[in-house]
Amino acid sequence: MDDEKAALRKKLDRIVELGRWADELLKTHALPEAIEAIKERIRGADSDDRYTLTLELKSLLPLAGRKREAEQTIDEMIACLPDDVRFPISKASFYLYDTDEPEKALEAIDLALGRAHRTRFFRREALGVKARILLKLGRGEQLSQTLEEIMSLEMKREIPDIGRERDFIDRAPPGKIAEDVLARYNVFCPKRETN
């Protein structure tokens, strides 16, 4: 068990290191140069580094107006990694935020959710993205059902996921979410006081 924790710590440290490298690259280079440097580093990377660097790359490509290339990059990773949940989540977010195509985002998040339920990884994160998509589409009944799913998840420390979120609740217009669901979600994830 200690060996597993040490290996996980090493992997997380490497992800942080690569993220800092990419951030520094963006501070010191123009966006097209930073993208090319990341692509070059991906070519010689092992599978873990390739994964992390490709996540960095797919977030930069739309900023450079290279949305089609970003979509292709995401699709390649989805095809290569049939159990991965993060790239299908990324595809849904790409359609929701970068191309403003919420219907396509909904299709993409369904793929992510299928993988998330099969692997048990990032289920809450995928459902949170689905909630944001449904909010954008104005589908209150489905949004309420998704919130029910989020609240019913049994979380385990050793299975990767994210914490409780409520931005989709806070942005929902009055009456969009069933009142009983909203009341229970407010208990499940209370609004934090801001100073």
pLDDT tens sequence across 115-135 = 999 999 999 999 999 999 999
Q: Would residue 49 count as lying in a domain? A: yes
d(CA 142, CA 146): 6
Q: Would residue 4 count as lying in a domain? A: yes
Q: Would residue 13 count as lying in a domain? A: yes
One-character DSSP codes across 164-195: ---HHHHHSPTTSS-HHHHHHHHHHSPPPP--
Reported pTM: 0.89
What is the domain range of residue 28?
A: 1-59
CA 170 to chain centroid, in Å, comes to 19
Q: In the chain, which stretches have pLDDT less than 50?
A: none
- How many distinct structural domains can be found in the chain? 1
The DSSP secondary-structure symbol of 172 reads: S
Half-sphere exposure of 60 (CA within 13 A, CB side): 22
Q: Would residue 10 count as lying in a domain? A: yes
